[in-house]
A and B are shown apart, each in its own frame.
Chain A
Amino acid sequence: MATEEMEKLVRREYTQGFVTDIESDTVPPGLDESVIAFISQKKGEPEWMLEWRLDAYRQWLKMKEPSWAHLNYPPIDYQAISYYSAPKKPEDRPQSLDEVDPKLLETYEKLGIPLHERAALAGVAVDAVFDSVSVTTTFKEKLAEAGVIFCSISEAMRDYPELVKQYLGSVVPKGDNFFAALNSAVFTDGSFVYVPEGVTCPMELSTYFRINAANTGQFERTLIICDKQAQVSYLEGCTAPMRDENQLHAAVVELVALEDAYIKYSTVQNWYPGDEQGRGGIYNFVTKRADCRGDRSKVSWTQVETGSAITWKYPSCVLRGKDSVGEFYSVAVTNGRQQADTGTKMIHIGEGTKSTIVSKGIAAGNSDQAYRGLVKIGPRAKGARNFTQCDSLLIGDRCGAHTFPYQEIGNSSATVEHEATTSKIGEDQLFYCRQRGISEEDAVNMIVNGFCKDVFQELPMEFAVEAEALLNVTLEGAVG
């Protein structure tokens, strides 16, 4: 009896320590080891995972937030953030589209998003009627047939612990950087993909199919492993603007490509950029890295960044395998008061490694953006090649674009080419188009889309069409 009483008391202490209200499934703001233990417990994780998280947290405590980026934002109070909240219950969400911000709906309309998807994107409680349920089921069956594993990382930890243990943190170590360490300590969900040897994934994998299943969290963790001779194309994000009450986002994405594997990772990022003054927008601090571990492996990053108030993001490739290939194609658009510091790192380690970087930056309004790229060629990377092209386009005279290319060449047999241009959207181009009868806004869209063509053609077809529409919506009101 006495023991039972004791246990009850301890449990109460425990619960009080971690949650104010058990029903709400939310921890109060603040971060310490007990919060991490709470998250790990909520996720039903194995013991080693908790240790892994705690180790990351202890490293994070000793780290300083990076300040080298060309970004300006008020200091973030990490103790004012709540690090765990379960997905909202249906009764707490908008019950119909009538309760959703009409401006958001207007944007969905412009992007041509089907009605039933609009509701889901706006967070309306429609899970039961969302007709992608059947789609998702057939989708899962097809993948299972091919032997491809595609699930949330929490499920993977339970069902495929060996794979997770082997690869998690093997590309982006726990203590890699301030935001990666924070993510490692507190990540709540994300995707896990494993494509077995020799398998070409029969369809493009998209987080879109998981929108309703799991609330894409504030600290997402994605791990994709492509075994020997396997191939996969993965689409992250969604062209529709996503609202989120969490202002700080710090995701980590790890890609592993073994011998002759090919991973194509495409992102369309359209988080809420804030109001006209930039208030309330998402801060997006992302660490994305690919490890081309096997010979002749290839990873291609394609990103279209249009959202967020602050973007800090450098999808990178570590080209370890002989003759491995890394590619980075990026379009970053900033308008209003958005700020973006983005680019890539290509680390050539293996012999005969090749990388290509094509970055297109478009700044409008009062926005500011920077391209930051590192090409590092190690002493053993004989005959390595890099081609970099980064172009910036300015719309109006209150925005800024900056380029910070870094090159570290460790052997003389490497070939590194770099081209960069910055131009203002030409008055003469605008005049030419308008003199053909095309409105100023359409002319700007046409010129900007033309500017981005090299990158858009790398996107999967459906994404490319949406990306163009998205660009037009983002730049609305940029001129005149």
Chain B
Amino acid sequence: MTQRTGWKALSGSVLVTLLLAACGSGSTGTSENLAADQTIRFPINDDIGTFDPAHQSALVDFDFAQNIFQGPVKFDNAGKIVPDLLTKLPDVSSDALTYTFHLKQNIKFSNGDPVKADDVLYSWNRAAAAGDAYAGNFSPIVGYDAVSAKVPTSKTLSGLTKTDDYTFVAKLSAPAGWWLSALALGGVSWVIDQKVVTAKGEDTWWTTPDGLVATGPFKMTARVPKASLDFAPVANWWGGSTGAIKKIHVDVIADQASWVTKYEQGGYEIVGYANMSPTAEDILRYQAGTHKAELTLNPSVRSSWVGFSFVKGPFAGDAGKDGRTAFSMAIDRAQMVDVACAKGAQCTPATGGLIAKGLKGYLGDGQDPTSKFDAAAAKALYTKWDPTGSKVKGLKYTYNTSATNKLVAENLQAQWKQNLGVTVALEALDRQTFFSNRDKKTYVLFRHSWSADYDHPQDWFDNLFTCAAGSSGSGYCNKTMDDLVTKADQKPIDQSLNDYISAQKMMIADVVGAPLFYSIQPYLVKPYVKGAGGNAFFDYYWTALKVLQH
């Protein structure tokens, strides 16, 4: 530290001390000194995709919806599965094939309708039949195949039955050690009000405050599409206290650079909720500045990679394997992390497979050979695969717009040009269009990422890499690996982990994607806001937030 900055720091400290003294007990954090205005405001860069639990797949949407909806069980802030709408965790039979759920008897939707077992059955059957990205969470239940078939032979899961108004049973076709975790994630397992869905319309019920009815502690009070969202606690919530916060206001602002400016002007209390991030420049500035304490860098269980289409274009099938390998080996992950992740503050290089570091199934640092940077080998392999350059003519990399994604895309473009001599065009799309098209396997070369829903490799394989995976994007299908994963899914995790690791090595051999980095979630939080932040999987619930006098 130079003498000048030392004096600045000292004088800053003195000033802060004096200000704190002047404020009296204004920042001690007890319940007596809550601010009069209990409003939390934060920005997101694009509108939410959907609040319909049957169709949700984006983490952004989940981070909101977990405060509005509830299911039988949930993860608490420490990541432990706890009962939510249940009186206790479900009873599981000794053969692990029958789950009996006991609902609390005082649950009410925000419109006052009581919640009974029929509501759970309706919600789950509807989500299973919708067949969207997370419908597979019901795949263990008997009758799922009949509901999810291209031409369904049933509209309901035959293994899901009601015993009485507050008890229901799920019979599984095979043991599934991961299933309770999948239920705790929410989304498809959240309970909705059939009466409201019918009245407001199957596709649009969730879009308005009076249609978005659920059992959670918060409800939507206003929504201007592409502009803003407002939420407030449910009055007389059936579950008891909704916490201190009286209003959540969310701005939809594409320009991420303006977020921190507004935060510094007092316009936001938080930047970083709903899987958003301040820009790299802002993170670097805060790391070096006097408000460093407002910045938290939270390792998250998220991987990012380059996806290759296995159904069309030059990378498809066995013929495209050398191309996939060359494009992966041509990426210097260390450089990418430096350039696109605020000198490594926002992510670390992905060298241990697609399953993120810290999770069960992570292969270990440096264990993925395709993520090893070797420009010469990549160039030689590329030249052998595409000697005339005709295969990559007009090639484009597609991504959804955000500051980080843009930096990543431009860095990939530069590295492929430098190390392979290939010019790749960039195509930036809005989030809704991008995700919708990616699920339809439209893109040849694209951004892909996944935030673990829970700590179980099944979450990655069944959603991303099996033949029927709803969020694959690539259309990758390896029957041998599928069989291995199916068997592993049926065993407890301690007995199945090696199978999942073997399956991941098969994927690496097939070069399913080019792993890029594991993310770190930054949060900027005003010092007078308590209870904000998140664990490795999701933001803390809004019920934990409070604003102190300041």
B is bound to A? no
Residues of A within 8 A of B (CB): none
